[in-house]
């Protein structure tokens, strides 16, 4: 937990400090190195339409389930959470968020739910998407890590890049919940190349200082052919 606390605390401290130059390192250089590390621009285009299937354990209650994510750039996300006894579907289509419980009628998501979907989509941005938004990104360098900070629609995501590997190893998201800021940390590990794209196989999630879930990648489909109908209630 000491390491987690340090990681959560270091991001706001970095953002508030002045960027530090490291051998003329700038955000464009960082992003190009990250793109190269993840397989290059041509391969990363495969992530413009992608489906991921994860097995997960929700640590509170030791509940096992499946997390299926459909992502279509620039602004569409579908998350299907399947437990043995229930299901939940989250749909983000531009500015509109919807939720569906147990296959029922789609409901318009509350603002905090929509913001949570936005944060998850931002966490899933590929390095190419980050480069497309480079004018809105701030860079801070600190030791072996640098933080790329992006704010969209009031939602903040900090991408922590390891300068030895140029991999994004952690993403910290910040949301306002009932007027208070809540931070969510996702750790990435077990990186492997799949069809030319570097993909992390494991995720470890925290809300505040609570370890909430562990996930293992089962399958990923690139160039998935998703369309607008994929992100509408059935």
Tell me which DSSP letter residue 191 carries. Answer: E
65 closest CA partner among 45, 91, 86, 37:
86
In Å, what is the CA distance from 71 to each residue of 40, 51, 171, 193, 228?
A: 19, 6, 17, 19, 11
Domain of residue 60: give its range: 2-231
Cβ atoms of 193 and 38 closer than 8 Å = no
> What three-state secondary structure class fits 124?
coil
Evaluated on CA atoms 114, 85, 66, 232, the torsion sign reads negative
Q: How many residues can be counted in the chain?
A: 234
Provide the pLDDT for residue 23: 54
Cβ atoms of 153 and 115 closer than 8 Å = yes
Q: How far apart are CA 48 and CA 227, in angstroms?
A: 11
Cβ-Cβ contacts under 8 Å for 23 (sequence gap 6 or more): none
Burial of 5 (C-beta count, 10 Å sphere; 0-12/13-18/19+): exposed
In Å, what is the CA distance from 19 to each residue of 46, 146, 158, 163, 169?
A: 33, 10, 14, 15, 20
The total of structural domains in the chain comes to 1
Q: How far apart are CA 126 and CA 116, in angstroms?
A: 18
Residues of the chain below pLDDT 70: 1-24
Phi first, then psi, for residue 122 (nearest 5°) are: -60, -40
Cβ atoms of 209 and 8 closer than 8 Å = yes
Query: The domain that contains 72 carries what CATH number?
Result: 2.50.20.10
pLDDT digits (tens, 9 = 90+) for 156-184: 999 999 999 999 999 999 988 777 888 99
E strands, 84-209, in order: 87-93, 96-101, 107-108, 137-142, 145-152, 155-162, 167-177, 180-194, 197-207
Phi first, then psi, for residue 33 (nearest 5°) are: -70, -40
Overall pTM surpassing 0.85 (yes/no): yes
Q: How far apart are CA 186 and CA 213, in angstroms?
A: 9
Provide the pLDDT for residue 63: 94
């Amino acid at each position: 937990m000491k390491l987690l606390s340090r990681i959560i605390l270091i991001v706001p401290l970095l953002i508030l400090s002045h960027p530090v130059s490291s051998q003329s390192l700038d955000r464009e250089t960082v992003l190009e190195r990250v793109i190269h590390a993840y397989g290059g621009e041509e391969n990363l285009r495969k992530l413009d339409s992608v489906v991921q299937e994860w097995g997960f354990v929700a640590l509170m209650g030791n509940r096992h389930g499946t997390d299926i994510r459909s992502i279509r750039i620039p602004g569409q996300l579908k998350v299907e959470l399947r437990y043995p006894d229930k299901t939940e579907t989250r749909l983000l289509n531009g500015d509109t968020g919807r939720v569906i419980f147990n296959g029922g009628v789609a409901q318009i998501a509350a603002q905090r739910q929509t913001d949570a979907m936005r944060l998850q989509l931002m966490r899933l941005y590929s390095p190419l998407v980050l480069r497309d938004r480079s004018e809105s990104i701030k860079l801070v360098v600190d030791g072996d890590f640098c933080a790329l900070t992006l704010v969209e629609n009031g939602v903040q995501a900090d991408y922590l890049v390891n300068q030895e590997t140029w991999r994004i190893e952690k993403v910290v998201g910040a949301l306002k919940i009932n007027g208070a800021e809540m931070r969510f940390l996702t750790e990435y590990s077990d990186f492997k190349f799949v069809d030319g794209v570097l993909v992390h196989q494991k995720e470890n999630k925290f809300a505040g200082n609570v370890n909430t879930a562990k996930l293992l990648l089962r399958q990923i489909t690139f160039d998935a052919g998703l369309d607008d109908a994929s992100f509408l209630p059935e």
